[in-house]
């Protein structure tokens, strides 16, 4: 893997596409092992499919699409549970980005 360059992250899909794919895959697998697989699949396909990783002030952030919980239509889930699992999933994505880019 190449050294991480915050300036190159502006054009992340050109410079870091394989690393980004790996971070999302690792996060999915980690979450799928810990939570209901139907819920994790739905979040992955209906919310995170349009999320955007960003590197801001030395940290990775995951910008979610507008009204992310309203996008989930594949399954019925309590709003509190969805919010909790989605928050945990985003945290896992941030962790995976830090690990993939060796910024721990």
Residue 54 β-bridge partners:
61
28-71 tens-digit pLDDT: 999 999 999 999 999 999 999 999 999 999 899 999 999 999 99
CA pair distance 44, 60, nearest whole angstrom: 18
Q: Which residue's entry shows tokens 């209901």? A: 36
Write out the residue range of the structural domain in which residue 36 sits: 8-100
pLDDT at residue 2 above 80? Answer: no
Give pTM, 2 decimals.
Answer: 0.92
Please report which confidence band the pLDDT of residue 104 belongs to, taking 50, 70 and 90 as the band edges: confident
Please indicate, yes or no, if residue 47 is contained in any of the structural domains: yes
CB atoms within 10 A of CB 41: 15
CA pair distance 52, 75, nearest whole angstrom: 23
**What radius of gyration, in Å, describes the C-alpha atoms of the chain?**
14
Please indicate, yes or no, if residue 27 is contained in any of the structural domains: yes
Please indicate, yes or no, if residue 2 is contained in any of the structural domains: no
Q: How many CA atoms lie within 13 A of 29 on its CB side?
A: 7
Residue 32 tokens read as 């799928």
Please indicate, yes or no, if residue 3 is contained in any of the structural domains: no
Residue 5 tokens read as 């360059």
Please indicate, yes or no, if residue 28 is contained in any of the structural domains: yes
Please indicate, yes or no, if residue 66 is contained in any of the structural domains: yes
Provide the number of structural domains found in the chain.
1
């Amino acid at each position: 893997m190449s050294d991480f360059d915050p300036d190159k992250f502006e054009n992340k899909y050109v410079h870091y596409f394989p690393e980004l794919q790996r971070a999302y895959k690792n996060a999915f697998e980690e979450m799928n092992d810990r939570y209901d697989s139907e819920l994790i699949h739905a979040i992955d396909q209906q919310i995170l499919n349009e999320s955007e990783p960003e590197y801001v002030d030395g940290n990775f952030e995951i910008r979610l699409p507008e009204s992310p919980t309203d996008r989930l239509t594949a399954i019925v889930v309590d709003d509190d549970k969805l919010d909790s699992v989605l928050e945990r999933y985003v945290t896992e994505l941030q962790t995976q980005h830090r690990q993939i880019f060796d910024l721990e």
